[in-house]
Amino acid sequence: MAFSLNKIMLIGNLGKDSETRFTTAENFSVTNFTLATTYSFKNKTGEWTNETTWHNIVAFNLSDYLKENLKKGKKVYVEGRLVKRDYTDKDNVKRYVTEVRAERIIPLDSNADAIKETDIESSNQEPDISDSTGADDLPF
């Protein structure tokens, strides 16, 4: 049997305040934000160089506390899975997006110590968006 794993763990700072929208059909909240992670290494001349990577994060049904406190510059831990999707923009051009679908978000700033990790994890449930035809059922 073949195994696979799609898990990503990031610690970084928010690049801007999070944005929350609600779906029209089920009224789920969808929160988006960008997270910057930095990798430091020595270049050819022996000087330290920082390389920043920006990650697009998507989270479903976050608590109001998290939605209000995911602000620019805040340090957070994000755990989830990598998802690729495509869409057609308003100019009828097909676009491809890679994003992190968050399953756990933990604030790391000192003022967030009071919140419990289990509260964050249980409030972040991804909605079931599969079709009802059963086409996505796996044979195992």
**74/119 Cα distance (integer angstroms):** 19
pLDDT at residue 122, rounded to an integer:
40
Q: Is the pLDDT of residue 131 over 50?
A: no
- pTM above 0.85? no
Per-residue pLDDT, 113 = 45
